[in-house]
Amino acid sequence: MPPEIEKIKLYLRIKWWVIAAAALLIGAETFFGVVSPVASLSSFIALAIAASSALFLQLRIEKPTVPIHISLNFDLFLIILALYFNGGIENSWLFFPVFIIFFSGYLFSVRASLAYAVVSYLSILLMFFLEYFKIIPHFGIYNLPELYWRNTEYCIDYLVGMFMLYFFAAFSSGYLNQIMAQAAERLGRSLKETQTAQKESENARKALLNLTEDLTRARDTLEARVKERTAELEEAKSNLEQKVAERTAELEKSRRAVIHMMKDLKDDMEKLKVIDRMKTEFLSMVSHELRTPLTPIKGYLYLLTSEKMGSLTDQQKKALEIISRQSEHLQTLIDSILDLSRIERGQPLPLKKEPMSIKAAIEEVAEAMKIQAQAKQLNLILEIQENLPTIMGDSIKIKRALTNLLGNAFKFTPEGGEVKVRAFAEDSSLRVEVIDNGIGLAPENLTKIFEKFYQVDSSITRAAGGMGMGLPIAKEIVELHGGKIWAESEGLGKGSKFIFTLPITGG
């Protein structure tokens, strides 16, 4: 049953008790002649009307058609009316509206009880005022003299007392309503939690029953499988020794094969080491042998190009320039092979460190490679910061690293492309960047390109030529100077950037 219906029922029960008590009291006063017949008659009429409204409300309590507020206001009106016809100002029952005020707060809220308190007090105040100034007639009840109830102090004391009584009842009922609402809310939560716990307990009980059934089925299944497995084990036991013997023989055969294979592998590794050492020695020997005839060739080329052995035609000069470039290229290859052979033997490249200008080194290399850039119609751009600090380094080796990086950029930049060299100071080091708009690099090749003889597998790199030695040598030179080198690229077809740094302090 909703809480509101319960409150209305409680109100009706107390209302019946009040009606009954008032009827007995008024009857006793009438019997002993304490009150006048008019007062008794008006009181009984008011009680009859109140009883009728209570009966009507009780019959329609499940589906009330009359709001409870109307019933309370009607009861308050009856009480005020009965008080007026039963002595008015001199009536000692002026506390009766307290019941309406208290139940309005109990049924609704403290605001409702305060509203009823205000209405009740204003009604009593109005009755006092009208009777005091004889605007309405006064119906005496106790045959008191007029001067008694027309006494100003009496009226003021009575009104102050009723004010305090009414509003105390209003606040008390509101506070009681709040306490009961909180208690009802806590009770509702407790009931809800109890219902939830009961539901969970029932679910747990059902789950336990289901688990018991599952365990029973699992036990039966397990027993059946154990019986089957036991039979299989009995069958396997009969030929287990034979299988173990066969397997042991196979393992022994495999062990011998592995030992033989490891011996062959060790022999192959020794042979590879010998071959690798022979290769390194061969490269070193070939490089020295190639360098021997190259020296007089370059000497005679110098004599011819300087026309010390006679004048030359333009066609002869052009041919000699081509021979000179190819001899320089061959010299670079020989030096690279010699450097690689030293690296493979674990020997560091010999460095002769001295104060040097990185700007001068870049400009010399760019000037030397200008013809190679013009041959492919490449735009070579230098962006060098002014007043770069002097570093301690081997200028020949640094220029070789720059030559290798620029040569790499020229090879993989298409005709009409652009190669840019940037140099600037950064913190305590110099930073050099070689940037091209060539074929670019895949992310997985950014570190592999610095390995010896590594070449990216593509038709473009094969067509460009080279032995894959330039970048490893450049890496070795930079690291021997205490610097770092790495490559960057956004992907194939998006160009590349090769960067190296050198410490300003000389490493």
21 and 100 in a single domain? The answer is: yes
- What's the confidence (pLDDT) of residue 358? 93
Helix intervals (H) in 32-151: 37-59, 68-85, 97-107, 110-132, 146-149
Question: CB neighbours of 150 closer than 8 A, spacing ≥ 6?
Answer: 132
Terminal Cα distance for the chain, rounded: 93
**Domain presence at residue 366:** yes
pTM of structure: 0.42
Residues 180 and 67 reside in one and the same domain = no
**Do 79 and 178 belong to one domain?**
no
Tell me if 294 sits within 8 A of 331, measured CB to CB.
yes
In tens, the pLDDT along 49-97 reads 777 766 766 666 655 544 676 777 777 777 787 777 777 777 777 777 8
333 assigned to some structural domain: no
Based on the fold, state whether residues 436 and 484 are members of the same structural domain.
yes
- C-alpha span between 72 and 116 (Å, rounded): 9
Residues 393-398: what's their mean pLDDT? 90
Q: Are residues 138 and 159 in the same domain?
A: no
Q: Which runs of E-coded beta strand occur in 165-266?
A: none
Instruction: State whether 182 and 111 are in the same domain.
Output: no
Residue 503's pLDDT band (boundaries 50, 70, 90)? very high
44 and 183 within one domain? no
286 inside domain: no
Is there a single domain that holds both residue 382 and residue 480? yes
Which pLDDT value is given to residue 344? 66
Kindly state whether residues 103 and 169 are assigned to the same domain.
no
Cβ-contact 482, 502 below 8 angstroms: yes
Total domains, the chain: 3
Average pLDDT for 164-190: 77
Please say if the pLDDT value at position 176 is more than 60.
Answer: yes
Residue 284 belongs to a domain: no
Residue 147 has pLDDT above 80, yes or no: no
Range of the domain at 118: 1-142
pLDDT over threshold 80, residue 1: no
Please say whether the dihedral angle defined by the alpha carbons of residues 177, 183, 184 and 189, taken in this order, is positive or negative: positive
Position 507 scores a pLDDT of 45
- What digits encode the pLDDT tens for the residues 310-337? 787 878 877 777 787 677 667 666 776 7
List the CATH number of the domain containing 446.
Answer: 3.30.565.10
Distances (CA, A) of 310 to 307, 314, 315, 317: 5, 13, 14, 12
Same domain, 66 and 122: yes
CB 385 within 8 A of CB 346: no
Could you tell me if residue 199 is inside a domain?
no
Mean pLDDT, all residues of the chain = 78
User: Residue 424 forms beta bridges with which residues?
Assistant: 431
Whether residues 108 and 165 share a domain: the answer is no
| Residue 287 vs residue 432, higher pLDDT | 432
> Is 227 inside a domain boundary?
no
Instruction: Report the C-alpha gap between 313 and 79 in whole angstroms.
Output: 142
Q: Are 410 and 486 members of one domain?
A: yes
Under the banding of pLDDT at 50, 70 and 90, the label for residue 501 is very high
Alpha-carbon distance of 27 to 503, in angstroms, equals 120
Per the domain annotation, does 118 fall within a domain?
A: yes
